[in-house]
Amino acid sequence: MTTPVSTAKTSGKEVEKDASMQKQKAMMAAHYDRLTAVPETGAKVCNTFVPGNLNELIKCFDLLNNLPEINAIQNGLRRLSGNFVLEAEKIGHSEDVCTYVKSDIGMMAKGNIAPNGKKFPAPDVLLLSYTGCFTFMKWFELLREQYKCETIMLHTPYMGDGKFTPNMIEYMVKQIRDEVIPKLERISGVKFDIDRLREYLKKSAVAEDDLVYVLETAKSRPSPIDAYFGGIYYIGPIFGAFRGTDDAIEYYRFLRAEIDERRAAGKGPVTPDGDMGTEKYRLVVEGPPNYTHFRQFWKMFYDEGAVVVASSYTKVGGVYDLGFRHNPDKPLETLAEYCLGVYTNRSLPMRIDMLTQYLTDYDADGLLINSIKSCNSFSAGQLLMMREIEKRSGKPAAFIESDLVDPRYFSAANIKNRLESYFQMIEQRRAANRAAA
Ligand code: SF4
């Protein structure tokens, strides 16, 4: 299944689309079609967020999952978010508010149109698995005002001490068992069946194994993947609406075979301009990307031979590479453990440990932080993290700034300059190391 199955035009060139890309595209399109067909099918909808999403549980109630961050990203990539952000500011939302939120609010004000051109359905329930970012709570307060629908809050204790305890798991399981499940049963009209949940969890774990396999191929030289720009595509099904499905299992099987083939051929990552040239720099990246200029941003890396071998952003919906898998033998406990472990719920020292370890494990040249203007959850403490990681690893770090889906905060010239200086810094460090050897 690794043979490219079709071609599409990108930047005036024909590029090959692999089986996994085709599969993912079809999955996303089908999902949006299911959502916008709700007026005809009568299906019920649960809006929820990526970090801590309980997709397996949601599926037990035949609810369709709608993820507002994914919709904001789609609007960013399609260059629609800028106007939506302005619209939200006109309504009164401050410039400092997370631009995912403003893109979502602006989209609703402008007709609430999904990527397939049809109207998004109103949610029947807002399920907030709160995992460390306060914005999630305020965002759903706004949606609740708009839709007047039920809201369920699952509180995840923050991992302030760098670990979770049996008490934390118990506290969460109690909420899931006594609050979340009964409310979802009532709203959906479907009785909870724990064996159905076990089946979905079993499927999740299969896909999670393959995702980790793919992400860890970046330890090879050259890396056959870009674990940030490319990684965003790879995490899509598991972080989105497909965990627990056969579609996700199939997608990751295709992807794994494709990446294995690239690695065996000694190839680097596929970029929007085709195969990347010689790998010159290996980076670990902290922070989300910019989506309004995604390709331009990525090009600044691959034009210089820079590949991202590990990133924290691809852990925002689950830190599977550190060993977590959804476990069908402990169905409710595993949902609790999943929410506790996601990146946004990890303390700064835990983030520092993780990124420092990545620099060693992936034999990277250094750390790059993309600080997102409107995402406090990621940005708070990043300078401190950078200094500490530099000190511990002895590797150079750099800091750039942009925004998620607000095009006003993407300054191409600034970012390019900083990246060029950073690559020079890496070269100087290499020369100094050679001289010292
Ligand atoms: S984690 Fe950042 S991007 Fe996500 S909702 Fe919170 S502030 Fe917004």
What is the per-residue pLDDT across 372-395, written as a single tens digit (0 to 9) for each? 999 988 998 999 999 999 999 999
Q: What percent of the chain has pLDDT over 90?
A: 92
Query: What is the residue with the minimal CA distance to atom 7 of ligand 1?
Result: 375
> Is the predicted pLDDT of residue 10 greater than 80, yes or no?
no
Q: Is the pLDDT of residue 312 over 90?
A: yes
Beta bridge partners of 281: 306
- CB-based contacts of 163, cutoff 8 Å, min separation 6: none
Task: Report d(CA 257, CA 428) in Å as an integer.
Answer: 38
Cα-Cα end-to-end distance for the chain:
46
* Residue 13, in any domain of the structure: no
Give the mean pLDDT of the chain. Answer: 94
Record the tokens describing residue 217, joined without a space. 């191929």
Give 198-226 pLDDT, tens digit per residue: 999 999 999 999 999 999 999 999 999 99
> Could you report the per-residue pLDDT of 110-130, keeping only the tens digit for each?
999 999 999 999 999 999 998
Q: Which residue CA neighbors atom 4 of ligand 1 most closely?
A: 375
- For residue 133, the ligand 1 atom closest to its alpha carbon is 6
436 CA from centroid of ligand 1 (Å): 44
Please state the atom number of ligand 1 nearest to the C-alpha of residue 136.
5
Question: What are the tens digits of pLDDT across the range 172-189?
Answer: 999 999 999 999 999 999
| Confidence class for position 151, pLDDT limits 50, 70, 90 | very high
Consecutive H or E run containing 74: helix 68-77
Asked whether residue 214 is assigned to any structural domain, the reply reads yes
CA distance readout (Å), 192 to 244, 266, 313: 16, 49, 33
Task: Characterize the bridge pairing of strands 13-17 and 6-10.
Answer: antiparallel
DSSP label at residue 273 = T
Q: What is the mean pLDDT of residues 262-280?
A: 96
Lowest model confidence (mean pLDDT) among 2-16, 83-97, 202-216: 2-16
* 353 within a domain of the structure (yes/no): yes
pLDDT value, residue 17: 62
Residue 268's nearest CA partner among 237, 230, 294 is: 230
Residue 44 has pLDDT above 70, yes or no: yes
Nearest CA to ligand 1 atom 2: 375
Residue 356 within any structural domain of the chain: yes
User: What distance in angstroms lies between residue 378's CA and the mean position of ligand 1's atoms?
Assistant: 7
The reported pLDDT for the residue numbered 318 is 92
pLDDT at 19: 85
- Percentage of residues in the chain having pLDDT higher than 70: 96
Read off the tokens for 69.
């961050």
Q: State which ligand 1 atom lies nearest to the alpha carbon of 288.
A: 3
Residue 157 sits at the vertex; the CA angle it makes with 152 and 160, to the nearest 5 degrees, is 155
pTM here is 0.94
Is residue 224 situated within a structural domain?
yes
**347, 100, 36, 243 alpha-carbon torsion, rounded to 10°:** -20
Q: Which atom of ligand 1 is nearest to the CA of 49?
A: 5
Instruction: Answer whether residue 13 shows pLDDT above 90.
Output: no
Report the separation in Å between the CA atom of 408 and the middle of ligand 1, taken as the mean of its atom positions.
18
The whole-number pLDDT of residue 376 equals 87
Q: What gap in Å lies between CA 84 and CA 42, rounded to an integer?
A: 29
In a domain, 9, yes or no: no
Residues recorded for the chain: 437
Ligand 1 pocket check: which of 131, 140, 342, 376 to mutate, most ligand atoms within 8 Å of Cβ? 376
- Provide the number of structural domains found in the chain: 1
Contact 154, 171 (CB under 8 A): no
Within 6 A (CB) of ligand 1 lie 98, 100, 133, 135-136, 344, 375-378, 404
| CB count in 10 Å sphere of residue 89 | 16
Q: Which two tokens stand for residue 313?
A: 């952003």
Domain annotation covers residue 18? no
Probe target for ligand 1 pocket from 50, 75, 98, with the most ligand atoms within 8 Å of CB = 98
> Which amino acid would we find at residue 217?
T
Report the separation in Å between the CA atom of 89 and the middle of ligand 1, taken as the mean of its atom positions. 17
Joined together, the tokens standing for residue 187 give: 């709203």
Higher pLDDT, 9 or 225: 225
Query: What DSSP letter does each residue of 105-154 carry, written as one string?
Result: HHHHHTT-B-TTSSBPPPPSEEEEEE-S-HHHHHHHHHHHHHH--EEEEE
d(CA 100, CA 144): 17
User: Distances in Å between the alpha carbon of 292 and those of 24, 303, 367, 372, 375?
Assistant: 21, 19, 23, 13, 15
Q: Say if 28 falls within a structural domain.
A: yes
Distance, CA of 285 to CA of 58 (rounded, Å): 32
Domain that holds residue 297: 23-436
The tokens describing 245, both together, are: 């499905």
pLDDT at 12 over 90: no
